[in-house]
Amino acid sequence: MPQSPLPGVTIIDHPLVRVKVTQLRDARTGSVDFRARLNELATLMVFEATRDLATKPIRVRTPLAETEGAVLARPIVVAPILRAGLGLVEGMLDLLPDVSVAHIGMFRNEETRLPESYYFKAPAHLADADVILVDPMLATGGSATSAVGRLKDAGAKSIRFVCLVSCQAGVKQLRGAHPDVPIFTAALDPELDARAYIVPGLGDAGDRYFGTI
Ligand code: PRP
Ligand code: URA
């Protein structure tokens, strides 16, 4: 898996990821297919984004003999930034069934471009968990930066951020504010437009996922 030239940023450049992101980008893709691809991408992304999770040994008895196996050393919390982050939860839970889900309600004010927070609910064991913060888009980076701040205020110590489409400005903002938070992305796009949308991007992820265009 190639590392991007930016420290702390991993571009998950798997052929299946590239194909599915292309389908998401395509303006002709309607909500039904958009949801399906987002779901599949979440499963592919979480597989790579959890590659370095610590495990601890356990003994297990096969039908033939006892042997050593592994369990995750720490609990996992998946934390979607609402709304669009919800689209990544189900696909992640397919691989990570034994997790808690935190909810971070936030929307970007269309005039100021700044995130406005409207909800936060996380499990009590956040400090002991590996937290996977998820949102399909990292544009200005304001929402992800604020969400990491909320998680840290609530006690989180180990946080990673998984998105699908990012851009230089958002990466710089999030890494600058929280250099301890690694970023996993499927695509690093060149720029933001005048409305702070990622170009080429995929448009408004929440609206396309929920059919509110
Ligand atoms: C989108 C996206 C991110 C945010 C990214 O959400 O899902 O949360 O914008 O932009 P930023 O990096 O510039 O902060 P939006 O605010 O549109 O809310 P929604 O998911 O409810 O549509
Ligand atoms: N939010 C989105 O959904 N898309 C963008 O390109 C920027 C913010």
Q: Which two tokens stand for residue 212?
A: 């509110």
Cβ(201) – ligand 1 distance below 6 Å = no
For the segment 6-59, what is each residue's pLDDT rounded down to a tens digit? 899 999 999 999 999 999 999 999 999 999 999 999 999 999 999 999 999 999
pLDDT of residue 88: 98
Protein residue with least CA distance to atom 18, ligand 1: 107
Cβ(120) – ligand 1 distance below 6 Å = no
Distance CA 85, CA 107 (A): 11
pLDDT of residue 3: 56
pLDDT of residue 97: 79
Ligand nearest to the CA of 84: 1
Protein residue with least CA distance to atom 3, ligand 2: 204
pLDDT of residue 1: 56
Distances (CA, A) of 58 to 50, 68, 69, 168, 209: 20, 6, 5, 42, 41
Helices (H), the chain: 15-25, 31-49, 89-95, 142-153, 168-177, 205-210
Q: Is 148 exposed, middle or buried (0-12, 13-18, 19+ CB in 10 A)?
A: buried
pLDDT of residue 98: 87
For the segment 122-155, what is each residue's pLDDT rounded down to a tens digit? 999 999 999 999 999 999 999 999 999 999 999 9
pLDDT of residue 4: 65
Distance CA 126, CA 206 (A): 26
For the segment 76-129, what is each residue's pLDDT rounded down to a tens digit? 999 999 999 999 999 999 999 789 999 999 999 999 999 999 999 999 999 999
For the segment 154-201, what is each residue's pLDDT rounded down to a tens digit? 999 999 999 999 999 999 999 999 999 999 999 999 999 999 999 999
Cβ(148) – ligand 1 distance below 6 Å = no
